[in-house]
Amino acid sequence: MAKRGNSEGSVTKRTDGRWMARVSLPDGKRKSYYGKTRQEVAHKLVQAQKAIADGLPLAGERQSTGAFLESWLSDSAAQKVRPKTLRRYQELVRLHIGPEIGRIPLPRLTPQHVERMLANVQAKGSSARTVSHCRAVLRNALGHAMKHGQIARNVAALSDAPQVPEREFQALTPDSARRILGAVQGDRLEALFTVALACGLRQSEALGLRWGDVQLDTGSLTIQRTLQRVNGAFAFFPPKTARSRRTISLPVPVAASLRRHALNQVEELLSMCESWEGSRWGDLIFTDELGRPLAYYHVRRRFYNLLRLAGLPKMRYHDLRHGAASLMAAQGVPARVTMEILGHAQISTTMNIYTHVAPELQKEAAERMAGVLWPEVGAGLGSKLVSNPPQTLARGQN
């Protein structure tokens, strides 16, 4: 009898009533798959043969979901995501996903297992956003397993997604924005907060800026990197997405604020002399008194204190970025232009912020619409129509 070739297989029925499929491996060994029906083991055989032909690992009948996730985190996710994101993935697997479904064999994982896991995570007090992140991480990992022929379907994608309430934020009015600028005026980091509010930079983008990225004469700024703190050490990374690598125009007052900041930094350099470490970090624009990178918590604490001293309500540093978007919406800047300025990957992100413009701005928009649709009477008729709709419309007639 001729020797069976690589990836050739057979399907037989065992004496105990179960079906068995066997496939020949490239190293001469054979792997067996078992099932209750011939169709079940035949499907497993086809999947194994395809994996061997593609040079991919075979699905392990006994590999647990937890063991797979640990392998995925170290071998795949670690190569594709940023350190901060990887730490979040590891945290979700360690605290939530692993304890719930880690012992279940990977090929036997079902959508019901995933939905039960999500329900249990939420029942233990986790936020809806954390529950959603758990499903997203598992869906990502199982997508990798499916791509490599380790499973036949992505059960996380088939599970029902949890409802996540939309994160609300307070749209800034021009008056509120000017009060914030007044609160930070004269502070050592005035230029940082000014750039954040006027240009909508992410904190990691602003803290990663070097003087070579800014052209004050022409009034432009280029985002080329981000600064993050990883395991207690500062490190530079590429911008978040391809669209995040961008050049934007600077309002004249922002350029003036940066010029003042540059003069102050020169004075600090001269006073520190040998202690100045700015050149080591590539001459960052925003540094501490010794020219070293700024930690996010230092910036956040300083911003909170400035708001408190000015009697303004507490807000996140990131709200300055949202504020920039809402102000652009209020001034009629097209969403596509705002998207390019902020470096959003998708226009839907920009539009979500545009829907949160302040009520008084919506009123202004209504008055403008009234002026366009009823020019003979202007906005007055528009307001009257809002409070007293025509009877035909009130009755729902078209």
- Do residues 237 and 243 touch, judged by C-beta distance below 8 A? no
- Read off the amino acid at residue 42: A
Tokens of residue 254, six digits: 């922002």
CB neighbours of residue 24 within 10 Å: 20
Closest-CA residue to 170 (of 313, 307, 55, 289):
313
In the chain, the largest separation of any two C-alpha atoms, in whole Å, equals 98
Residue 56: pLDDT over 50: yes
What's the pLDDT at 170? 65
Residue 101: pLDDT over 90: yes
Identify each DSSP E strand in the chain by its residue range. 9-13, 19-24, 30-35, 214-215, 220-222, 226-230, 233-237, 247-249
Residue 360: pLDDT over 80: no
What's the pLDDT at 357? 67
Residue 34: pLDDT over 90: no
94 vs 171, residue with greater confidence: 94
**pLDDT interval class at 141 (50, 70, 90):** very high
Residue 385: pLDDT over 50: no
Q: Which residues pair with 11 in a beta bridge?
A: 21
Element holding 90 (H helix, E strand) = helix 83-92
What's the pLDDT at 358? 58
Distance CA 200, CA 196 (A): 5
- Do residues 173 and 360 touch, judged by C-beta distance below 8 A? yes
- Find where tokens 């300025």 sit: 341
CA dihedral (357, 363, 368, 372) positive or negative: positive
What's the pLDDT at 191? 97
Residue 113: pLDDT over 80: yes
- Read off the amino acid at residue 300: R
**pLDDT tens-digit readout, 9-21:** 789 998 888 999 8
Distant-in-sequence, close-in-space partners of 181: CB < 8 Å, separation ≥ 6 = 193, 194, 197
**pLDDT interval class at 320 (50, 70, 90):** very high
**Cα atoms found within 13 Å of the Cα of residue 59, Cβ hemisphere only:** 28
Residue 374: pLDDT over 80: no
Find how far residue 303's CA is from the centre of its chain: 23
- What DSSP character marks residue 232? T
- What DSSP character marks residue 285? S
Q: Of 8-12, 99-103, 156-160, 279-283, where does mean pLDDT reach its minimum?
A: 8-12
**Cα atoms found within 13 Å of the Cα of residue 316, Cβ hemisphere only:** 11
**pLDDT tens-digit readout, 171-228:** 788 888 999 999 999 999 999 999 999 999 999 999 999 999 999 999 999 999 999 9
**pLDDT interval class at 62 (50, 70, 90):** low
369 by DSSP, 3-state: which? helix
Residue 41: pLDDT over 50: yes
**pLDDT interval class at 169 (50, 70, 90):** low
Average pLDDT over residues 243-262: 95
Distance CA 170, CA 168 (A): 7
Classify each residue of 186-222 as buried b or exposed e, where b means 16 or more C-beta atoms within 10 Å of its C-beta. ebebbbbbbbbbbbbbbbbbbbbbbeebbeeeeeebe
**pLDDT interval class at 3 (50, 70, 90):** very low
Average pLDDT over residues 16-45: 85
CB neighbours of residue 163 within 10 Å: 8
Judge if pTM exceeds 0.85: no
Q: Of 16-30, 127-141, 192-206, where does mean pLDDT reach its minimum?
A: 16-30
